[in-house]
Structure 1
Amino acid sequence: MLLSCENSIKEVQNLTSKNEVPTQSGNDIEYIITDSTRITYRAFAPEFFEIRNPDQSYNEFQKGGKIISYKKDGTQAWQIKANFAKNYTNDNLWELRYDVEAISDDGKTINTELLYWDQAKHLIYSDQYVRITTIDNQVLEGTGFTSDEKMDKITLKKVSGEVYLDDKTQK
């Protein structure tokens, strides 16, 4: 029996390359990020893959998970959950996708299908549709936003929704 192949050796090597094979993997993991022995962030996921290659190294959470941030006093500052997450370790950047929900410690909620968290700059942002529910249950919608990770200073782009203003005047 004879077989014929029109692919070059280089093409075959690229297809069978181990660049995308996980160097580590695990189930039901807890990923802890510390600063001077103090826990600053914890991530939980049902599945974890660590990918290391020359172009880009990242951790992938294909079944999603949750990230919790902690204040210096150890209390919870905010949390983000998503159905898929990727942590680009060299860039300190998280990409969270599919049914993303971010909740601040005071109860503000951000819902979107795509959210980036830049750990180094302490920013979260998206260029996708976003729905923000304020602490007094006002709902704002838009396409794209940027915010500090504590969700204290949110800039919403292409805004729609109802905003209620207090019309009391002070003397």
Structure 2
Amino acid sequence: MGLIGKNIFRFTLCVSISTTGLASCETDLKEVDRIAAIQAEEPVDISHNVTVVYSDSALVKAKMTAPEMRHYNVEKPYYEFQKGVTIILFDENGVETQRITSDYAIQKETEELTEFRRNVVITRADGSIIKTEELIHDQKANTFYNHVPIEAYFKDGRGNFMGSSFQADGNFENIEVQNSTGLYLFEDGQGPMFR
């Protein structure tokens, strides 16, 4: 091998070693970034197969069950139920008055709001069912409302209705539906009435 050949070989070897060194440094930097990203993630506590009982003056008011509950310990803390949730509400005698189920929910502690999303079903003790894709509970005002279509099916023979959105008190006794349409029956059973 001549002098030129040796110099080319040395240059190639140096370039190869430099490239390997840079790749190694790049890998190390990626690892540092990955670790930093893990540390920067929001702190979360995850609980499985959760049951929470809410009571007031030794009276059970509600019971919540969920396959998974995530509590995010951030500036504005919140609970997230990515795998769905069921909440059963009771009257002062411990009798179930209604239950709410959804495929997803988030409870915002600071805002005192709970949002139920995807396949939200409210089942009343009388068998009436309300279905929607969104339900928001304002804990301060103890009201429920939404901004998406709603369907209601009454078991007591009053009829069925649909609407573009609604608002209700905490017991779903007074429901105000916007742009409602449906079939309603007169109390004396004389016939249907459309709205």
Paired position in structure 2 for 1:127? 147
Structure 1 residue 28, shift from structure 2 partner = 0.7
Q: How does 1:1-171 map to 2 (within 5 A)?
A: 1=22, 3=26, 17-18=40-41, 20-22=42-44, 24-54=45-75, 56-137=76-157, 138-166=159-187
- Structure 1 residues 32 and 163: alpha-carbon distance in aligned structure 2, compared to 1, 3 A threshold: same
Between structures 1 and 2, the one with greater helix share: 2
Q: Compare CA radii of gyration and give the structure with the larger one.
A: 2
Distance (whole Å) between structure 1 residues aligned to residue 62 and residue 121 of structure 2: 16
Distance (whole Å) between structure 2 residues aligned to residue 103 and residue 125 of structure 1: 16
Contact 1:104–1:150 (CA under 8 A) maintained in structure 2: no
When the two chains are superposed, the root-mean-square deviation of aligned CA atoms in Å is 2.4
* Higher RCO (CA-CA < 8 Å; seq separation 6+): 1
TM-score normalised by L of structure 2: 0.73
Between structures 1 and 2, the one with greater strand share: 1
Contact 2:126–2:156 (CA under 8 A) maintained in structure 1: no
Paired position in structure 1 for 2:9? none
Q: How many residues align?
A: 159
Distance (whole Å) between structure 2 residues aligned to residue 159 and residue 15 of structure 1: 49
Distance (whole Å) between structure 1 residues aligned to residue 172 and residue 80 of structure 2: 25
Contact 2:85–2:104 (CA under 8 A) maintained in structure 1: yes
Q: Which blocks of at least 5 consecutive residues in structure 1 are unaligned?
A: 4-12
